[in-house]
Amino acid sequence: MSTAHAVPSQEPTAVVATDRDHPHTLRDTWPIHRRQTVQLVVGWAVLTVAWIGLGKLITGPLADSAIVHNDQRVANWMVDHRTPTWNDLTVLGSYLAETITKVLVTAVLALVLLKIWKRWFEPVVLVVSLVIEAAAFISVTTIVGRHRPDVPRLDGSPVGSSFPSGHTAAAAAYVAIAVVVFWHTRRVWARVLVIAITALIPVIVALSRMYRGMHFLTDTIAGALLGLAAVALTVAVLTRTPEGARARELARSR
């Protein structure tokens, strides 16, 4: 006589990915390998050539165009509306994206992210975005060599070229912070806050640099687009790595 054994039914359970499900050392999380290095360098070269072309267009065929004449009118208008109060406030606005400021902010945030998540992906996204932006800016401004606005300037600069605005480009590269926040939270207030901050800083910096006679309007627009393009390039390359995919999976699981 056979005896039937009842087998308890098993309900499917959801499995949530955690850091323990993906054991790794810090070294294993490094997202830049030979392929990514090549892609980033090629991307940087494309951005640099494109912005050099734009700069040469403005200083060459378009030098007597309505765009350039409007640049000078805006610069003159800024000078005509200077006040002691705005002179002081625009110093602070410029400092939001000074070299020392952007390096310190990026370094501190990168270390904080590394401490929190114990992986390189998020810190590297911030740092590489800034490096791509800075490397492209230096190459473009050196080759284009556009003269700064012909107005009294309130600042000095070791770089004599005006195109593009390096301050504005660096400020726009802060958008990488917003990208990281979007990966790690779905809270509407957090997303709105980080978008508002990272969108407002480039505007403040651009207006401050124009007010102080350091850049034309087109310089700041080109700078903002360069910073955004550097972030887009970095995110596009690094999120396609296994380390990037794993980091985003773990972020979503939380």
* Residue 146 near residue 162, CB atoms below 8 Å: yes
pLDDT of residue 24: 63
Q: What are phi and psi of 72, to 5 degrees?
A: -70, -35
Cα 51 to Cα 47: distance, rounded to the nearest angstrom = 6
Please tell me the distance from the alpha carbon of residue 225 to that of residue 247, in angstroms, as a whole number.
27
Q: What distance in Å separates the CA atoms of residue 217 and residue 233, rounded to the nearest whole number?
A: 24
CA torsion, points 58, 63, 66, 69, in degrees to nearest 10? Answer: 110
Domains annotated for the chain, with CATH where assigned, are 32-253 (1.20.144)
pLDDT digits 0-9 by tens, 180-205 = 999 888 899 999 999 999 999 999 99
Q: Looking at residue 68, what is its pLDDT?
A: 94
Predicted TM-score (pTM) of the model is 0.86
Per-residue pLDDT at 142 exceeds 50: yes
- Is 60 exceeded by the pLDDT of residue 12? no
- For the chain, the average pLDDT equals 88
